[in-house]
Structure 1
Amino acid sequence: MEDRITKFIAALRAEGVRVSVAESQDAWEAITHLGVRDREAFRMSLRATLIKDFDAIPTFEDLFPQYFSLGTPPLMDPQSGLSEEEQQMLQEMLQQMLQDMMEQIKGDLQKLLDWLLNGQTPSQEDLEQLADQAGLNQPNARSPQRAQQYARRMQQMLGWEQMQELLEMLWEQLAEQGMDPDSIEQMKEQVAQNMDRLEDQLSEYAGEKLRDNRVEDAQRHKPVNDLMNRSFGSLSQPEMDQLRDEVRRLAARLRTRAALRQKRGKQGKLDAKTTLRANLRYSGVPFEIHFKQRRLKPKLVVILDVSTSMRPVAEFFLRLIYELQDQVQKTRSFAFVDHLEDVTDDLLTHRIDEAVITVLTRLPAGHYNTDLGGSLRQLEARHLDAVDSRTTVIVLGDGRNNFNDPGVETFGRIGRRARKLIWLNPEYPAQWGTGDSDMPAYAPLCSELYQVRNLAQLTDAIDHILV
């Protein structure tokens, strides 16, 4: 059971669920006190200690029965109800059949016959050998949904269809030899039940093997660190897919850091000036201690350039912000190419994959048609109420306007209304001001500037924004 719980926690982490070492220890302590006899209490103790986010509950509920099913019953011994004479008759008939059909019966078929007629359960070595023959150790064998397919392959390796023919021959020959029909019927029923139970055992083992393969893949995902430092423009489609899988784990780490900062923020920082002023009535003796309370969760307005060159950066930014919504008071999101679109509802009403596609396709990408200045004027004219003194405005773009009016004055007015004005740019600072880049005009008006050429830089920038 200990090994199964460890694998279950590893599977949760592989699916992107945040489970810290401390939470794992809490789970073990809960199990120590409650035990595992009451399955529902066991399930709820794991869920209460390991799951923090509502969105992670479906993942937990999906994985729990896969790791803690009630299990398939053991195989029965069909010979236990036979008399000594009938058992002797069965053994002689089996030996005669094996001699007559030696060329047809292979090694795995012989194993299957022994399991079904003697009630033997396949050993771990037998199961591993079958799994290897069925391809369960191949690199593409990773989806738990394919467990039934691999289980059927394992049955084929054992000679499942041939076994049906052999058993029919056996029942007929036992009847010819004069065995009691009731004994034969009882054996037939028990062997049929054994076949059903063995089929369930093979299916359960295949599912467990596929889940273990997936967890091992997640634990071996070290090359992701290299991809995170590669520029978005240099990534192939498979590498992009690999990084998309990594986003949830990155977001989990960012959420943990933000939660720790929030905890410290609630405690506050000593406000020396206010403390001294408040205690003048006590001749300066600090009876009343005052703390500075920090604004814990930012309120965001996001302006995204989704032109052709910016789309990979915009996609990963959207994915990270989507996963971190619980660390933000409120987010208004706008996307632009040659005009501005409010995409807030798209991100609120769709799952992340659908939301990204919706946002990126709402504004058709073109070449040399980006107009940030015009989009800023649209924001000021239609959505300025979204920006106030508590708002952090984030612009994700390369600052290129295709020689249109950059709208610097409008940008300045938006910045003066906001708490902070932050710019995320994938280009090197040496490229600012070259060609149609207006970044040198925007940069002095920004509170903070970050280069976000790769996922590592983007993650670091968002970490700072959540401070």
Structure 2
Amino acid sequence: MDQRITQFIAALRASGVRISLAESADAFRAIDVLGVQDRDLFHDSLRSTLIKEQQDIPVFEKLFPLFFQHGNPPAMQDGTRNLTDKEAQMLAEALRQFNQKLRDLMEKLIEGKPLTPQELNQLDQIIHSQNWDDMRYQSWMARQLEAALNFREVRQALQELLRLLNELGMNRQRLDQLRQAIQANQRALQEQIRQHAGERILQNMIENQSRQPQNDLLNRPFHAFSEEDMRQLRDEVRRLAAALRTRLALRLKRARNGQLDLKTTLRANLKHGTVPIELRHRDHTRKPKLVILCDISTSMRFCSELMLSLIYAIQDQISKTHAFAFIDHLEYVSPFFEHQQANQAIEQVLRRMPGGHYNTDLGFSLENLQKEYLDTIDHRTTFIVVGDGRNNFNDPRLDIFQKLTRRACATIWLNPEPPILWSTGDSDMYRYAPFCTRTFQVSNLRQLAAAIDQLLLH
């Protein structure tokens, strides 16, 4: 089912619906909680998490039954069921006036027989539908299938058939019954063709999706990322940041009516004889101030880039961000992000730190931070470190780190390695951790987004 939902999301995107990684993750969480047994609830869970624009609802409603409820061909009715032997002979004689190809389809419409899978596959070969993988072409593709069936000629031939039956003496009531059955079967056959067109496009979408890497980038470890993965993720990160920005703005809006301020309430109501009439609340809308220290060595680059991308994409909801990058020394990188994307800014930083075999030195970078940028950290600052805590056996400068954490409102460390590795090899993470307010394992984008969500939205 997870693979089917992933394919469904891919089909929605291919049909022009904008769905971020965050919204995809929300859909999976909703399904985990609500399950798939109740089809209506399953439908509503996916629609509420994946669709945010009114114009995208018809696309969702068109695709959903193709993925999760492959319907049978529409019901058709047999127009010959009540014919007498004489009327059946009239019908057979009238049908002989037409060529075999027309007669075959006319008989299907009269007797209420849907197209067989073999017949539909033959039509597909005629119009080469395997080249189509966009659901927006469903109606056009259905018209092509109808044209391959000579559907217009068949409808004209059926009108001619009814005229011939009238000339042969079939009574008007029977002709009307036959006409109604044929018209109903025409509509049902068109619906069968439309459904088949959608299913064919869906099949092509799934086949194309199977040719692409199946790993979920949201859950793939940062150390397993390729440059191609990052190219795919950068657009998604912008959408993820948009969702975070919206949620943070809503949280700040709701916080305007914060904790009851008793002193202000009493002071404001002295004119009422100290009887409180109008309640006053403390303003809790102060935006966060951040100082971010990112390790951009080879093992950490993608994690740091995505972190900085997310943070700088929601700058309108943050009071101030001072961003620093380090490998063996510290660089102040905030100016690079003012007019560029995070990956472009990091490329500039890396040009100032030429390629080669680096010895990551967080201790020396902390010393740089203390000497040159200490005033960026104060009691309103959340100090965030993004790194694996591996110091190549250099001095970790715990004294400086402790001083910085005491100046900050809170110190948060985001580490892609699991805690079980924090005391192995050259890692000093277990020594830094006691000075942190909180530590998070962020080995993939899902965990990174969840950590930012907790840092800024709660």
Shorter-chain TM-score range: 0.5 to 0.7
Match of 2:18 among 5, 8, 13: 13
**C-alpha deviation, 1:320, in angstroms:** 1.4
Tell me the distance in 2 between the aligned counterparts of 1:286 and 1:366: 69
Q: Does structure 2 conserve the Cα–Cα contact (< 8 Å) formed by 1:301 and 1:332?
A: yes
Per-residue CA deviation, residues 359-391 of structure 1 (Å, 9 max, x unaligned), is 344323544501101101101101112122222
Corresponding position of 2:259: 270
Tell me the distance in 1 between the aligned counterparts of 2:394 and 2:436: 20
Corresponding position of 1:156: none
Corresponding position of 2:439: 449
* Identical-pair percentage: 47
Q: Does structure 2 conserve the Cα–Cα contact (< 8 Å) formed by 1:306 and 1:363?
A: no
Structure 1 residue 392 corresponds to structure 2 residue 394:
no
User: Aligned Cα RMSD in Å?
Assistant: 4.2
Structure 1 residue 359 corresponds to structure 2 residue 349:
yes
Structure 2 vs 1, CA of residues 136 and 321 (structure 1 numbering), >3 Å: closer, same or farther? Answer: farther
Structure 2 vs 1, CA of residues 15 and 234 (structure 1 numbering), >3 Å: closer, same or farther? Answer: closer
Structure 2 vs 1, CA of residues 275 and 21 (structure 1 numbering), >3 Å: closer, same or farther? Answer: farther
Q: Which amino acid aligns with 2:132?
A: N
Tell me the distance in 2 between the aligned counterparts of 1:364 and 1:321: 25
Match of 2:250 among 257, 260, 267: 260
Structure 1 residue 381 corresponds to structure 2 residue 371:
yes
Q: Does structure 2 conserve the Cα–Cα contact (< 8 Å) formed by 1:336 and 1:363?
A: no
What does 1:4-403 align with in structure 2 at a 5 Å threshold?
Answer: 11=16, 13=18, 24=53, 137=132, 226-266=216-256, 268-271=257-260, 274=263, 285-364=275-354, 366-367=356-357, 369-403=359-393
Tell me the distance in 2 between the aligned counterparts of 1:451 and 1:278: 48
Q: Does structure 2 conserve the Cα–Cα contact (< 8 Å) formed by 1:368 and 1:402?
A: no
Indicate the SS of the match to 2:424. coil
Tell me the distance in 2 between the aligned counterparts of 1:22 and 1:316: 25
Tell me the distance in 2 between the aligned counterparts of 1:345 and 1:460: 27
Tell me the distance in 1 between the aligned counterparts of 2:214 and 2:313: 19
Runs of at least 5 residues in structure 2 that lack an aligned partner in the other structure:
1-11, 24-48, 57-123, 135-200
Tell me the distance in 2 between the aligned counterparts of 1:437 and 1:323: 31
Which TM-score applies when normalising by structure 2?
0.53
Structure 2 vs 1, CA of residues 15 and 444 (structure 1 numbering), >3 Å: closer, same or farther? Answer: closer
Corresponding position of 1:155: none
Structure 2 vs 1, CA of residues 247 and 225 (structure 1 numbering), >3 Å: closer, same or farther? Answer: farther
Tell me the distance in 1 between the aligned counterparts of 2:50 and 2:233: 24
Q: Does structure 2 conserve the Cα–Cα contact (< 8 Å) formed by 1:231 and 1:454?
A: yes
Tell me the distance in 2 between the aligned counterparts of 1:341 and 1:298: 22
Indicate the SS of the match to 1:422. strand
Structure 1 residue 427 corresponds to structure 2 residue 427:
no
**Number of equivalent positions:** 286
Indicate the SS of the match to 2:217. helix
Q: Does structure 1 conserve the Cα–Cα contact (< 8 Å) formed by 2:414 and 2:441?
A: yes
Per-residue CA deviation, residues 279-300 of structure 1 (Å, 9 max, x unaligned), is 9977884324231322442111
**C-alpha deviation, 1:270, in angstroms:** 3.1
Structure 2 vs 1, CA of residues 12 and 384 (structure 1 numbering), >3 Å: closer, same or farther? Answer: farther
Which TM-score applies when normalising by structure 1?
0.52
Structure 2 vs 1, CA of residues 14 and 359 (structure 1 numbering), >3 Å: closer, same or farther? Answer: farther
**C-alpha deviation, 1:429, in angstroms:** 0.8
Q: Does structure 2 conserve the Cα–Cα contact (< 8 Å) formed by 1:304 and 1:336?
A: yes
Q: Which amino acid aligns with 2:312?
A: Y
Tell me the distance in 1 between the aligned counterparts of 2:228 and 2:411: 35
Tell me the distance in 2 between the aligned counterparts of 1:410 and 1:286: 50
Q: Does structure 2 conserve the Cα–Cα contact (< 8 Å) formed by 1:306 and 1:365?
A: no
Q: Does structure 2 conserve the Cα–Cα contact (< 8 Å) formed by 1:305 and 1:314?
A: yes
Structure 1 residue 404 corresponds to structure 2 residue 411:
no
**C-alpha deviation, 1:237, in angstroms:** 4.2
Structure 2 vs 1, CA of residues 375 and 434 (structure 1 numbering), >3 Å: closer, same or farther? Answer: same
Runs of at least 5 residues in structure 1 that lack an aligned partner in the other structure:
1-6, 29-128, 142-211
Tell me the distance in 1 between the aligned counterparts of 2:317 and 2:426: 36
**C-alpha deviation, 1:338, in angstroms:** 0.6
Indicate the SS of the match to 1:466. helix
Kindly report structure 1 stretches of 4+ aligned residues shifted beyond 6 Å: 20-23, 132-136, 220-225, 279-284
Structure 2 vs 1, CA of residues 442 and 284 (structure 1 numbering), >3 Å: closer, same or farther? Answer: farther
Q: Does structure 2 conserve the Cα–Cα contact (< 8 Å) formed by 1:308 and 1:365?
A: no
Tell me the distance in 2 between the aligned counterparts of 1:433 and 1:409: 19
Per-residue CA deviation, residues 178-216 of structure 1 (Å, 9 max, x unaligned), is xxxxxxxxxxxxxxxxxxxxxxxxxxxxxxxxxx99xx8
Tell me the distance in 2 between the aligned counterparts of 1:448 and 1:15: 28
Q: Does structure 2 conserve the Cα–Cα contact (< 8 Å) formed by 1:279 and 1:285?
A: no
Tell me the distance in 1 between the aligned counterparts of 2:297 and 2:50: 42
